[in-house]
Structure 1
Amino acid sequence: MNGNRTFLPKLCLWLVLLCGSWSGALLAAENAAGSEVVTGADGVKVHRDLIFATPAGQPLALDIYQPVRPGIRAPMPVLLIFHGGGWLINNKSIMQQMAGYVAAHADIVVVNADYRLLSSNHNTTKLNQIVEDALGATLWVQRNIQHYQGDPARVAVTGDSAGGHLAAMVTLAGQNLSSQGFASRTPGFKPSYLPEGESAESIRAAGGIQVQAAVLSYAVFDLQARAFADFETAKNGFWAMGKASPRGFFGAGINVHSHPELYRALSPLNLIPKAHERQLPPQFVHVGSRDTLTTPDSARQYVEAIDQAGHRSELHIYPGLNHAFLDNDCNEFLGNCFDRDAKAPLDDIIRFLNETFASPRGAVKPKR
């Protein structure tokens, strides 16, 4: 998804083949009691389907992959994952192999979270509300992960494709919080989860929602360009995959021509602050060389903007890989298989996280 009109025919071709009222401690205990807990031979305990928020009556769940091997030094860093799927398809289950791999190969607590889709609540969910779900999941992790031996002061966010967009928004817009939500002309975010007795304004006054690292996997960086490229129309096959009628990201009567500020407010490329204004955490950006949906050029453009603003980043373009190589199992059309294609990038991600969390300022390798 590179903001270029040429992606649409290819997208339509292969889409058919691609597939709070309690305190933090009480909420964690309640969830743990009602969730499935499985300990595997790899030394990872999995807490499945913990509810972290119920926006508009829709329960949102997450899975926690907690390393329990001998020699673990707690508290451990945390990696929070948001799945991809054009904001219209998939759920957290598609990232299970990635989550399990990281937790099995590193002393990192991994959280794999769901969020509302655009098709949720009878096709009325707005994209800004999905960002609010991602912000809410991040805040929940920061307030509750200590119950699973995670360190709330060392949290990284990641996601692939549309999930990469959400991870980027958490990284860049975690200070833009408002109880008014995403009102026209004054876009702000109200996290879907708020701790008891706190508001979006109180979180913002305390510094906002801040993470310590970001891993952006073949992510969407320019929502405004997507809208100009007919993403909100039937030409975007994700609507058919999600069994929803095409519409605007922000609902009827709002489009990129009448309200461009709303689309810019959800475009990570437009939200990068100068380092002297606000220092961003280290970011690991990666994409496959054969990706025509979120192209290497779009990743380079974002990383160049990050560098020019004075922040630290690391760019990897993996030869021969297509879109969605971190998803479970194999996709014959795209030519990806998790066991063959995901492990080398995941090893790079683990190395990046270990280096970043081992140093107060992180460590960033040269780009390649």
Structure 2
Amino acid sequence: SYPVIVMFHGGGWLINSKSIMNEAAAYLATHGEYVVCNVNYRLLVDLGNTVRMNEIVEDAFGAVLWVKAHIDQYKGDPARVIVTGDSAGGHLASIITLQGRQLSSKRFMGAPHGFQPSWLPAGKTAEEVAAEDGLAVQAAIISYGAFDLYGSAMAGFEEASNFFWVIGNAQPRGIFGEQINHEDHPEYYYKVSPKYNIPQAEQHALPPMLFTVGEKDDLTTPASIQEFMELLKAAGHNDLEYWEHQGRPHAFLDSGKNDFLQISFAKDAPPALDVMLDFLDKLFYGKGQK
């Protein structure tokens, strides 16, 4: 059996589908010895623009649980799971890695308790999965991730100035619906932000993590990635690696071509994916170690 990569696409939680990661998923599967699961999740604009951010997180949690329960049918090893994602997908991969124990059967919107995964193993409650550390992963690769949704809301994420709403053809709104906003209920935004949920290493040791970002990324800047890594180190997590893609902007892992960003998969993604494979091969196959 092979280690399993569970991949989450980007798009500001508002646009795209797993197809934007098809080429990256295929590259990892064909250039390495890994089973790759490329995941869809509900977007904020889905179901008549009613999906809430906690439900997106719950879809990501449910996807990992489903993969662990079924991946042996595809020659994957459920005891060797890697989560990865870019941009919004990097947020989801981070929240799985840091907050996979924050599960609850209580309604999130009653008060921001924990998350109820969209899929649970038969006969298991969210609390039982948390007690078993059922969402534990063995490595994480975070590409130009978002870690602070409270900060994003303060910066106008929920307003028309965020062009992703236009691309998603949806009316701007609060990510938890119209009744909740970051000024009156910041606790909801904190709960879905990895930045405010970093466990102390002695309570919850995180797996090895690789962070990648484009040198020219002005959406999730190198400085923002490094700041998050420093917070992790301050909590005692030191098995961290950082790689900066020189001269590249945001979204360098996307399939196809993006003329606006002047990137293409063939030109820009392989160097980053090779760094990821080197990181994983060292962990899971002992390659490259002295």
Matched, 1:229 2:165: no
Residue identity in the other structure for 1:343: P
Question: Which residue identity lines up with residue 102 of structure 1 in the other structure?
Answer: L
User: Quick check: 135-144 or 267-276, which moved more?
Assistant: 267-276
Picking from 243, 249, 258, the partner of 2:184 is: 258
User: What is the alpha-carbon distance in structure 2 between the residues aligned to residue 358 and residue 280 of structure 1?
Assistant: 20
Q: What is the aligned partner in structure 1 of residue 272 from structure 2?
A: 345
Residues of 2 paired with 1:121 and 1:192: CA distance?
15
Matched, 1:246 2:172: yes
Matched to 1:348, the amino acid is V
Deviates more, 1:145-154 or 1:206-215: 206-215
Deviates more, 1:83-92 or 1:200-209: 200-209
Indicate the SS of the match to 2:5: strand
From 257, 261, 267, the counterpart of 1:330:
257
Counterpart selection for 1:280 from 184, 199, 206: 206
Q: CA deviation at 1:317?
A: 1.2
Residue of structure 2 in register with 1:137 after alignment: 63
Query: CA offset at residue 136 of structure 1?
Result: 0.3
Matched residue type, 1:314: E
- The answer on whether the counterparts of 2:112 and 2:191 sit within 8 Å (CA) in structure 1 is no
Distance 2:48 2:112 in 1: 26
Residue 30 of structure 1 corresponds to which residue in structure 2? none
Q: Which segment is superposed worse, 123-132 or 196-205?
A: 196-205
Structure 1 position 119 matched with structure 2 position 45: yes
Deviation at 1:262, TM superposition (A): 1.0
Distance between the aligned counterparts of 1:297 and 1:323, measured in 2?
A: 14
1:256 Cα offset (Å): 0.6
Contact 1:356 1:363 in 2 (8 A): no
Indicate the percent of aligned positions where both proteins have the same amino acid.
Answer: 50
Counterpart of 2:56 in structure 1: which amino acid?
I
Deviation at 1:186, TM superposition (A): 3.6
1:174 alignment partner, one of 75, 89, 100: 100
Number of the residue aligned with 2:281: 354
Task: Map 1:287-306 to 2 at 5 A.
Answer: 287-306=213-232
> TM-score, normalising length from structure 1?
0.76
1:171/1:280 contact within 8 Å kept: yes
User: Equivalents in 2 of 1:183, 1:252: separation in Å?
Assistant: 12
| Matched position secondary structure for 2:37 | strand
**2:139 partner letter:** A
Structure 1 residues 181, 348: CA separation in 2 closer, same or farther (over 3 Å shift)? farther
Contact 2:82 2:138 in 1 (8 A): yes
Q: How does 1:1-368 map to 2 (within 5 A)?
A: 75-311=1-237, 312-358=239-285
In the alignment, the residues of structure 1 paired with residue 26 and residue 178 of structure 2 have an alpha-carbon distance, to the nearest angstrom, of 40
Which residue number in structure 2 is paired with residue 49 of structure 1? none
**TM-score, normalised relative to structure 2:** 0.96
Structure 2: which amino acid aligns with 1:323?
H
Q: Is the 2:212–2:244 Cα contact (8 Å) retained in structure 1?
A: yes
Letter in 2 for 1:356: L
Deviation at 1:204, TM superposition (A): 1.3
Counterpart AA for 1:79: I
**Unpaired stretches in structure 1, ≥5 consecutive residues:** 1-74
Question: In the TM superposition, what whole-angstrom CA distance separates every residue of 1:92-144 from its partner, at most 9, and x where no partner exists?
Answer: 11100000000000010000010000011111100010000000000001111
Residue 273 of structure 2 aligns to a residue whose secondary structure is helix
C-alpha contact (below 8 Å) 1:176/1:208 kept by paired residues: no
The runs of 4+ residues in structure 1 deviating greater than 6 Å are none
Counterpart contact for 1:177–1:208, Cα < 8 Å: no
Q: Deviation string for 1:221-266 (max 9, x for gaps)?
A: 1111000001001111111111111110111121111111111111
Count of residue correspondences: 288
**Higher Cα Rg, which structure:** 1
RMSD, aligned CA:
1.5
Corresponding residue SS for 2:4: strand
